[in-house]
Amino acid sequence: MTNIEPGSAWDQELDAAGLLCPLPVLKARKRLSAMQSGQVLRVLADDPAAVIDVPHFCAESGHRLIASDTGASPQIYLIEKK
Whole-number Å distance between alpha carbons of 46 and 75: 6
**Full-model pTM:** 0.93
- For residues 44 and 39, give the distance between their C-alpha atoms in angstroms, rounded to a whole number: 17
Is 65 contained in some domain? yes
Alpha carbons 71 and 74: distance in angstroms, whole number? 8
Clarify whether 58 is annotated catalytic.
Answer: no
1 within domain boundaries: no
The pLDDT, as a whole number, for residue 16 is 98
Residue 73 located in a structural domain: yes
Has residue 7 got a pLDDT over 80?
no
Evaluate whether residue 74 is within a structural domain.
yes
What does the alpha-carbon distance between residue 81 and residue 28 come to, in Å, rounded to a whole number?
10
Q: Number of structural domains, the chain?
A: 1
CATH, residue 23: 3.30.110.40
Active-site hit among 17, 21, 26, 35: 21
Is a pLDDT exceeding 60 seen at residue 2?
Answer: no
Q: Is 43 contained in some domain?
A: yes
Is residue 17 situated within a structural domain?
A: yes
Q: What pLDDT, on the 0 to 100 scale, is given for residue 6?
A: 67
Q: How does pLDDT run across 26-80, given as a tens digit for each residue?
A: 999 999 999 999 999 999 999 999 999 999 999 999 999 999 999 989 999 999 9
Tell me if 70 sits within 8 A of 49, measured CB to CB: no
pLDDT at 1 over 60: no
Residue 27 lies in a domain: yes
Which residues form the domain of 54?
A: 12-80
